[in-house]
Amino acid sequence: MIDATILLWGVAIGSIYVLLATGLNLIFGVMKLVNFAHGELLMLGAYVSYSITTGLGLDVYLSIFVSMGVIALVGLGVERLAFRRVLGADKLNEIFVSLGLILIFDNVAVLIWGEDSKLLTSPFKGMGLHFGDVFLRYDLLIAFAVVVAILVGLLFLINKTKVGMAMRATSQKSQASMLMGINIEHIYIFTFMLGAVLAGAAGTLFGIIFPFNPYIGALPTIKTFAIIILGGLGSIKGAIVGGLLFGIAENLASATLGSIWGDAVAFALLIAVLILRPKGLFGEKGD
């Protein structure tokens, strides 16, 4: 049965995918780096907010900023210590490093926070608007607003600022941009941290809406890769459309065909799109 509640929750998980996908798309677009550990940053973001809110009593929505900051630093560390050193080798080495990082992050999170699932406590717990049978939590509304604000800011950064232009130049031809005097190293660090910031924000929003545990990061990452391929590499528009489409498709499939079909149908959609359009919905260039 198709009903508004199911669409609503499809959009909710979809907007989390959108944040992850734009970040990952930037990293892939600019650095050509395949980071399968991106979802772990989301997981850590949720836990950072958890510690901040339970430990210091900070409001969960303010903790987004802390989480973005901390995850940016984690991103810096990951880029400098691990990915930097395998960049340019085989893509498979990058995946291998990601798998190692997943082991590290998952288990460090278990050691610090335990394995039980947690939920961030929102000040608007249990509150929301009723539209007939549909209950719209305030948390969802706020999450949508935050996602939109972040995306607007991001588009501004990429299209209107100097660093954004440098990123675009790097993503198109790193050799040429080096000649133009752009410090590629710095652009790489900036891009990776920017992606991490988005994942951190996604983590906090995820943790307010969905319960999380240390192993929550793996599946979203793979779906996110599917989404950026579905949307088209390097296309922010593609990441947004792809993310929402993926979220809605898996929820609709769960509701109509049965829950076990959710993931399968979402990936079938990806395969169908790729067969028809090998470069994705909005992809112009391949790598």
Partner 1 sequence: MVNTKLVAAVVIVIIAVAAVVAVWQFMPASDETIKIGLVAPLSIPVGQDMDRAAKMAAEEINADGGIYVESLGKRLKIEIVVADTETANPEVAPAEVTRVVDQGVDVLIGGFGSSATLAGQVYAIEQKVPYVITGASTHLVTRRGFLPDGHSLKIDDPEGMSYMFHYCTTVYHYSETVAHFFAEAMKPLLESEYGLTRNLRLAVLYRNDAYGQGVWDATKQFIEDDNLPIDIVAEVNYETTKTTFQTELTTVKNAEPDAVYVVDFTTNTAVIYTQGQTDVGLNSIYIAVECCEEPEFYTALGQYGDGQLLESKFASYADVDGEFYLPMMDTYVADYKAKYGQVPGMMGADTYDAFYIVKDAIERAGTLEKSAVRDAIESCDMDQMLIITQTGKIEFGTDEDNYHEIDPFTFVEQLYYDESIGECRPKVIWPATAPVVGDIKQADLVFPDNYEPGSP
Partner 2 sequence: MFTKENLLKLIKNTKGRLALLAIAVSLVIPLLLSDNYMLHILTLIVIFTIYASSWNLLASSGQGSLGHAAFLGIGGFTSSLLAINLGIPPIVGIFLAATLSAAIGFLIGITCVRLKAWFLAMVTFGFSIIASTLFSEFDEVTHAILGFRTPPLLFSSRLPFYYFAVLISIACVAVLYFIMKSKMGLAFKAIHQNEAEARMIGLNTAKYKLYAFVLSTFFAGLSGAIYAHFQRYIHISIFSADNSFMPLMMSVIGGLGTIEGPVIGSVIMVFIDHFLINIDPFLNSALSPLFPAVSNVGPNIRLVGLGIFLVIVVILLPKGITSLLRKLYYYVRTEIIQSE
189 interacts with partner 2 by CB under 8 A: no
DSSP secondary structure string, 51-100?
HHHHHH---TTTHHHHHHHHHHHHHHHHIIIIIHHHTTS-HHHHHHHHHH
> Least Å distance between CB 17 and partner 1?
13
Amino acid (one-letter) located at 201: A
Do the beta carbons of residue 190 and residue 30 sit within 8 Å? no
Q: Does 262 bind partner 1 (CB under 8 A)?
A: yes
Question: Can you tell me whether residue 130 is helix, strand or coil?
Answer: strand
Q: Which is nearer to partner 1, 10 or 283 (CB)?
A: 10
Pairwise CA distance, residues 74 & 200, whole Å: 10
- Is residue 205 a contact residue for partner 1 (CB under 8 A)? no
Please choose which of partner 2, partner 1, none residue 222 contacts, taking the beta carbon within 5 to 8 angstroms, the exact cut-off set by kind. partner 2
Task: Return the one option of partner 1, partner 2, none that residue 97 interacts with (CB less than 5 to 8 A, by type).
Answer: partner 2
Nearer to partner 2, 150 or 241 (CB): 241
- How many angstroms separate the CA atoms of 262 and 254, rounded? 5
Rounded Cα distance between 11 and 141, Å, is: 11
Cα 37 to Cα 234: distance, rounded to the nearest angstrom: 19
Q: Does 223 bind partner 1 (CB under 8 A)?
A: no
State the Cα–Cα distance between residues 27 and 200, nearest whole angstrom: 15
Q: Which does 17 bind (CB under 5 to 8 A by kind): partner 2, partner 1, none?
A: none
- Binding mask 75-94 vs partner 2 (x if CB under 8 A, - otherwise)? -------x--xx--xxxxx-
CB of 254 to partner 2, least distance (A): 12
Least Å distance, CB 254 to partner 1, is: 4
Nearest residue (CB) to partner 1, 161 versus 259? 259
Q: Phi and psi for 214 in degrees, rounded to 5?
A: -60, -15
Q: For partner 1, which residue of 263, 265, 267, 274 counts as binding (CB under 8 A)?
A: 263
Per DSSP, the residues of 237-265 read: HHHHHHHHHHHHHHHHHHHHH-GGGHHHH
Binding-site member from 18, 97, 245, 249 for partner 2 (CB under 8 A): 97
Which residues face 174 on adjacent strands?
Answer: none
**Sign of the C-alpha dihedral, residues 101, 107, 111, 115?**
positive
Q: Which residues of 51-86 are buried (b: 16+ CB within 10 A; e: fewer)?
A: bbbeeeeeebbebbbbbbebbbebbeebbeebbbeb
* Binding flag, residue 141, partner 1 (CB under 8 A): no
148 binds, options partner 2, partner 1, none, Cβ within 5 to 8 A by partner type: none
Tell the smallest beta-carbon distance from residue 129 to partner 2 (Å).
Answer: 36
What does 210 interact with, of partner 1, partner 2, none (CB < 5 to 8 A by kind)?
A: partner 1
Which residues bind to partner 2, rule: CB under 8 A?
A: 34, 82, 85-86, 89-93, 95-97, 99-104, 106-108, 110-115, 218, 222, 225-226, 229, 260-261, 263-264, 267-268, 270-271, 274-275, 278, 286-287
Which residues bind to partner 1, rule: CB under 8 A?
A: 1, 3, 5-6, 9-10, 12-13, 115-117, 119, 125-126, 135, 137, 210-213, 216, 219, 251, 254-255, 258-260, 262-263
